[in-house]
Amino acid sequence: MKSLAILSHKGGVGKTSLAVNLAIHLAAEGKNICLIDSDFHGPSILTFFTPKSEIHWINSFLTGDSSLEECLQDLSNDLALSGKLLVAFADPTPESIQNVIRLDQNTSMKMLHYLMKMKSMLREEPYSIDYLILDCSPGTGFSTINVMVITEIILFMVKVTNADIIGTSHMIEGLHKQLKSRTKIIANQIPSDFLNDQIRKEHFQKLIENLLKKDLGDKTVDFMGWIPNDLDLYKTEFETAIKTLEGNPTRRMIHTLDKPDHIISKIIKELANNLFGDNN
C-alpha cells in the first residue's frame, strides 16, 4: 500500500478536489482506494459524495470510540467503479472542530497511534488497499503533522499567488525535519495562456525549485506540474449548490468521474502515474 497526504499553506487551493479526483481515477482503474477526510478543521469530502444513511465520523475511530469498519463507507458500487473505494468522512460540527483545534499533546499522540493502526489494518484483508489518500487541513496543525508522519508521499498544492508561494516556502522550510526525502509540489488553477507557453513554464518551474531548495539539506522537492483553471467549474458548483438549497441534495462534480475526457482528468491520470509509478 502506498500513502499520499495532500497539504497546503493556504485554504481553498484545490486539495480536496485533487484528493477526490485521484481516488476516483485510481478506483476506476481497478485499484483499491481508501480516501480519508483528514481536514478536521473544515471537512468537505462529504460534499462530493452521497453517503449511506448513517455516518460514523473518522474522528470517532481516532479517539477509539468507533471501529474502522464502521467509519469506512464503500461507495464503489454506487459509483460503478471497478476497484474498491472506501471513504471516511470527518465530523463538521463546531464541537468536533474545536476539539481538534485544542488538541493537546496526549490526545495528539493517541490520534497518531490510531492513524498507525488504521494504516496497518488497511494493508490487510478484508481491505487490501493499494492507495491511501489523506486530504489535510491547510497549515500545520497537529492533525496534519500526524498525517505527515504516517504517509510516504507528501504533496503540497499551491496556487500561484504571492501569499501562497511565499507561505508554502516558509511551510516547507519549517517542516523540513518532518518531510520525507522527496516531497512533491503541484500548482493549481493556472491560466490557460500560461500553460501554452513552454518557455514560461520551464522558467517558472526553475524559480519555484530554487525557492524551495533552500534549507532542505539532502531533501528534494519534485515539481509535479500544473492543473489548469477550469473556468466552468464555479458555474457548475453554483448550480449544484442551488439544487441542494432547493432540497435536492446534489454531489459536487468530479472531473475524473463525470468528465473523463476533460483536460483536468487527463492531467490527474498523468499525475497518478508520476506519483505512484514504479520509480516513486
Ligand X SMILES: Nc1ncnc2c1ncn2[C@@H]1O[C@H](COP(=O)(O)OP(=O)(O)OP(=O)(O)O)[C@@H](O)[C@H]1O
Q: Which positions from 219 through 238 interact with ligand X, judged by CB under 6 A? A: 227, 229-230, 233, 237
Neighbours of 8 (CB within 10 A): 26
Q: x-or-dash pattern for ligand X, window 26-65, by CB under 6 A?
A: -------------x--x-x---------------------
Cα–Cα distance between 220 and 234 in angstroms, integer?
A: 35
Spatial CA neighbour of 52 closest among 32, 83, 27, 75: 75
Nearer to ligand X, 32 or 188 (CB): 188
Q: Which residue has the cell 484483508?
A: 125
Nearer to ligand X, 17 or 265 (CB): 17
Q: Does 16 bind Mg ion (CB under 5 A)?
A: yes
Total residue count of the chain as it appears in this document: 280
In the complex, least distance from residue 278 CB atom to ligand X, rounded to whole angstroms: 28
* Binding piece for Mg ion, criterion CB under 5 A, among 33-41, 49-57, 66-74, 223-231: 33-41
Cell output for 38: 483528514
Q: Does 188 bind Mg ion (CB under 5 A)?
A: no
DSSP 129: -
Nearer to Mg ion, 16 or 189 (CB): 16
Cell output for 137: 487541513
Q: Which positions from 124 through 153 interact with ligand X, judged by CB under 6 A? A: 138
Nearer to ligand X, 44 or 99 (CB): 44
The backbone torsions φ and ψ at residue 83, rounded to the nearest 5 degrees and listed phi first, read -90, -175
Total binding residues toward ligand X, as defined by CB under 6 A: 19
Q: Does 265 bind Mg ion (CB under 5 A)?
A: no
CB 31 within 8 A of CB 261: no
CB-based contacts of 66, cutoff 8 Å, min separation 6: 56, 57, 60
Q: Does 17 bind ligand X (CB under 6 A)?
A: yes
Q: Which amino acid is at 101?
A: I
Q: Which positions from 235 through 254 interact with ligand X, judged by CB under 6 A? A: 237
Q: Does 195 bind ligand X (CB under 6 A)?
A: no
